[in-house]
Amino acid sequence: MRRSPVRFLLRLALTLGVVWAIYLLRANVWFKLYPAVMVAGALTAFAISLGRTPLVEVFARKMGESLDARGVAYCRNVTRLWVAFLAVHLAVTLATVFAPPAVWAWYNGCIAYVLMGGLFAGEWFYRKKVRHG
């Protein structure tokens, strides 16, 4: 399997960006950047997959779903929804790095998970309604 130079450059840019941020801040904020790095990784994976087989389609097929053309299009749209969600989530996560520690902890330790769970659940209920309704 050939390695993509684009992926390498994205990973390198992300790594250098984190190192640069740590250097500039010169404080013990490296641990506060961890959630942002994880979100950036997920965002990158979902976004890159839109140029190939969308990740949601990959997940659906691994769970044994047989997808027709409509199902494939639906998976692409859900992947786009996750890209948009993760982009906003990344912006908020980065903003909390500069917020008081309590704000960072509440958002990254609780609110973010509630929002992700809400998106998972909302999409699941919507899919069940569309599929059976």
How do residues 64-120 score in pLDDT, each as one tens digit? 888 999 999 999 999 999 999 999 999 999 999 889 999 999 999 999 999 999 999
pLDDT of residue 12: 85
CB-based contacts of 36, cutoff 8 Å, min separation 6? 90, 93, 94, 97
Length of the chain (residues): 133
Rounded CA-CA distance 15/30 in Å is 12
Q: What is the pTM of this model?
A: 0.77
